[in-house]
Amino acid sequence: MAMTLTPMEQFEVKPLSGMDHPLFHIAGHPIYFTNQSLLMVIVVIVASLFLTLTVKPGRLVPTRGQSMAEASYEFVANMIHSATGEDGLKYFPFVFSLFIFVLFSNFLGMLPGSFTVTSQIAVTFSLACLVVLLVIVVGFMKHGIGFLKLFVPHAPWYLLILLIPIEVISFLTRPISLSVRLFANMLAGHTMLAVFAGFVVALGTAGGIFAGLAIAPMLLIVAIMLLELLVAFLQAYVFAILTCIYLNEALHLHDQH
């Protein structure tokens, strides 16, 4: 029996079984309700339930769930405060939603048989574009046309001819690097897990002495799983902190707060 290893199969976006016909069309393109859409809905529902059901006002001693919800609130509030200062707290709802969405997508993606929403570049790039658009809007609202000074470093004028395009490109890099970092980490981690899982199956079915060896990749999977849990949190954190740093630049231009 030949086992074919398909570690990339888990990332396939396909319509749910039983929902084979498109929901509607946008500019002639059929829009399906896919496994990805389903997971995103689940992420939003689970996150909302977690944050609303666990928290009850007027409780003197918080339950475990409430402590977790409050800790995540404080964690993000501290992050914004330290990265952008007092006036960045206005954007707390945005950063918090972003952080919680990415965090829950990463964690729910770790469940066996689930689907990792953040391993799709389409999702992460949309989120990153949202961040950069917000930064641009905030920057222009706060500084008017003076926001463009962000692209003018302190240098003699003849160097500015070269430096301004470089700064503009450097700014345009942000949505790409922001999205690629999250997407690549998730893709790499889940591919690695699937490859090692494939080793277990291949060794196990080989029989004889090889079957006994199958325990080695199995142990490795456990270790990688733990590492991936860390990465899942860390990448959500990185995404949120970078959002804060970009917001800080839009709010305060060149000067440090």
Partner 1 sequence: MTSSDPDRLRELGRKLEDVQRRNVTGPKGPPPSQLGIAGRFATELVASLIAGGGLGWGLDWLCGHFGFHTRPVFLIVFFVLGAAAGIRNVMRAATEINAKMASKDLEK
The footprint of partner 1 (CB under 8 A) covers: 78-79, 81-83, 162, 165-170, 172-173, 176-177, 180-181, 184-185, 234, 237, 241, 245
Give the residue with the Cβ less far from partner 1, 46 or 188: 188
Show the DSSP H helices in 110-156 as ranges.
121-143
**Shortest reach from residue 256's CB to partner 1, in Å:** 9
Give the residue from 232, 196, 190 showing the smallest Cα distance to 213.
196
Nearer to partner 1, 126 or 205 (CB): 126
How far apart, in Å, are the Cα atoms of 135 and each of 84, 168, 242, 245?
Answer: 13, 14, 11, 10
Is the CB of residue 51 less than 8 Å from the CB of residue 223?
A: no
Of 84 and 105, the one with the shorter C-beta distance to partner 1 is 84
Least Cβ distance, residue 205 to partner 1 (angstroms): 33
Q: How far is the CB of 163 from partner 1 (least distance, A)?
A: 9
Question: Least Å distance between CB 127 and partner 1?
Answer: 15
The b/e string for 157-187 (b: 16+ C-beta within 10 A; e otherwise) is eeeeeebeeeeeeebeebbeebbebbbebbb
| Helical packing angle, 157-206 and 121-143, nearest 10° | 160
The alpha carbon of residue 109 and the mean position of all alpha carbons in its chain are separated, in whole angstroms, by: 11
Smallest distance, partner 1 to C-beta of residue 57, A: 23
* Nearer Cβ to partner 1 (83/117): 83
Q: Which is nearer to partner 1, 201 or 245 (CB)?
A: 245
